[in-house]
């Protein structure tokens, strides 16, 4: 059974050819292949690839399996879309940086498990535009999905828009995302406030972010 987090990825795939980077058990490639999408599934480690191979063969599907890190095993133009999901935002940034030409040639479907704001900023600063975003709820957690493609976008004037982008304001799960970010900022603020060498500039920044969140919460009422 496909989880809500993985189903969100599937719902955002639009192309007829896709590469799933860090495929693990190949659940996404299997679901895509069943609907006629041409899929390349990759992983840096042989163990997950062997597991993926067994799952694919069990279902009699034609999916290309490649071992290698990030986009190294792809050629620019191999697929219309590239999925980077279930990994940290910093790792996604590293993979894109190391394969920039290939990334810019594809539509990127990204599911960062952390550092979402930093990833958005990285994309904008490196020749991508954020085409759309999505959210999924799984148990008590809310997950982000960012769709990016080559294009020019300006960084937002207010940092809060990198954490809680306006494109998500009308999403049914946006209030849950607000609560998540508020918890994060409060935890950081309290930790820094209790530090002997508290950085006043960072405290002011967190205060501003929490103030912006309060305004967004008022908007939701």
Dig out the tokens for 220 from the structure. 């939701």
Distance CA 47, CA 43 (A): 9
Per-residue pLDDT of 39-86, as tens digits, reads 999 999 999 899 999 999 999 999 999 999 999 999 888 899 999 999
Q: CB neighbours of 143 closer than 8 A, spacing ≥ 6?
A: 4, 5, 8, 111, 113, 135, 136, 137
Under the banding of pLDDT at 50, 70 and 90, the label for residue 220 is low
pLDDT higher than 90, residue 95: yes
In the structure, how many helices (H) and strands (E) does the chain have? 9, 7
Under the banding of pLDDT at 50, 70 and 90, the label for residue 196 is confident
Half-sphere exposure of 187 (CA within 13 A, CB side): 6
Average pLDDT score over residue span 4-20:
96
pLDDT higher than 90, residue 4: yes
CB of 108 within 8 A of CB of 85? no
Average pLDDT score over residue span 23-29:
92
Dig out the tokens for 177 from the structure. 């995302």
Grouping H, G, I as helix, E, B as strand and the rest as coil, residue 204 is: helix
Q: In this predicted structure, which of 10-14, 69-73, 74-78, 109-113 has the lowest mean pLDDT?
A: 74-78
- Quote the pLDDT of residue 197: 82
Distance CA 146, CA 148 (A): 6
Q: CB neighbours of 85 closer than 8 A, spacing ≥ 6?
A: 6, 9, 20, 22, 28, 109, 110, 111
- Quote the pLDDT of residue 221: 59
Give 156's DSSP letter: P
Return mean pLDDT, the chain: 95
- Quote the pLDDT of residue 1: 67
Q: CB neighbours of 65 closer than 8 A, spacing ≥ 6?
A: 40, 41, 42, 49, 52, 53, 56
Per-residue pLDDT of 122-171, as tens digits, reads 999 999 999 999 999 999 999 999 999 999 999 999 999 999 999 999 99
Q: CB neighbours of 90 closer than 8 A, spacing ≥ 6?
A: 114, 115, 118
Average pLDDT score over residue span 169-184:
97
Kindly list the structural domains of the chain, giving each domain's residue range(s) and its CATH number in brackets, ordered by start.
Answer: 4-154 (3.40.50.150), 156-221 (1.10.287)
Dig out the tokens for 218 from the structure. 């008022």
- Quote the pLDDT of residue 183: 97
What's the pTM value of the predicted model, to 2 decimals?
A: 0.94
Average pLDDT score over residue span 97-123:
97
Distance CA 82, CA 8 (A): 15
Tell which residue, 117, 154, 127, has the closest CA to residue 108: 127
- Quote the pLDDT of residue 76: 82
* Burial class of residue 187 (count of CB atoms within 10 Å of its CB; 0-12, 13-18, 19+): exposed
């Amino acid at each position: 059974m496909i989880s809500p987090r993985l189903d969100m990825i599937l719902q955002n795939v639009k192309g007829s050819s896709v590469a799933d980077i860090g495929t693990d058990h190949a659940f996404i490639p299997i679901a895509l292949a069943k609907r006629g999408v041409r899929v390349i599934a990759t992983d840096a480690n042989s163990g997950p690839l062997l597991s993926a191979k067994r799952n694919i063969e069990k279902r009699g599907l034609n999916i290309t399996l490649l071992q290698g890190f990030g986009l190294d095993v792809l050629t620019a133009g191999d697929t219309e879309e590239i999925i980077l999901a279930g990994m940290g935002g910093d790792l996604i940034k590293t993979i894109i940086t190391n394969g920039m030409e290939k990334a810019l040639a594809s539509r990127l479907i990204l599911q960062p498990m952390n550092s979402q704001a930093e990833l958005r900023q990285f994309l904008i600063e490196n020749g991508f535009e954020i085409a759309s975003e999505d959210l999924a709820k799984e148990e008590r957690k809310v997950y982000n999905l960012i769709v990016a493609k080559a294009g020019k976008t300006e960084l937002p004037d207010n940092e809060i828009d990198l954490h809680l982008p306006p494109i998500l304001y009308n999403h049914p799960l946006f209030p849950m995302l607000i609560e998540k970010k508020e918890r994060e900022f409060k935890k950081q603020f309290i930790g820094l406030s209790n530090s002997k060498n508290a950085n006043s500039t960072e405290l002011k920044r967190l205060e501003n972010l929490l103030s912006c969140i309060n305004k967004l919460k008022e908007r939701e009422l």
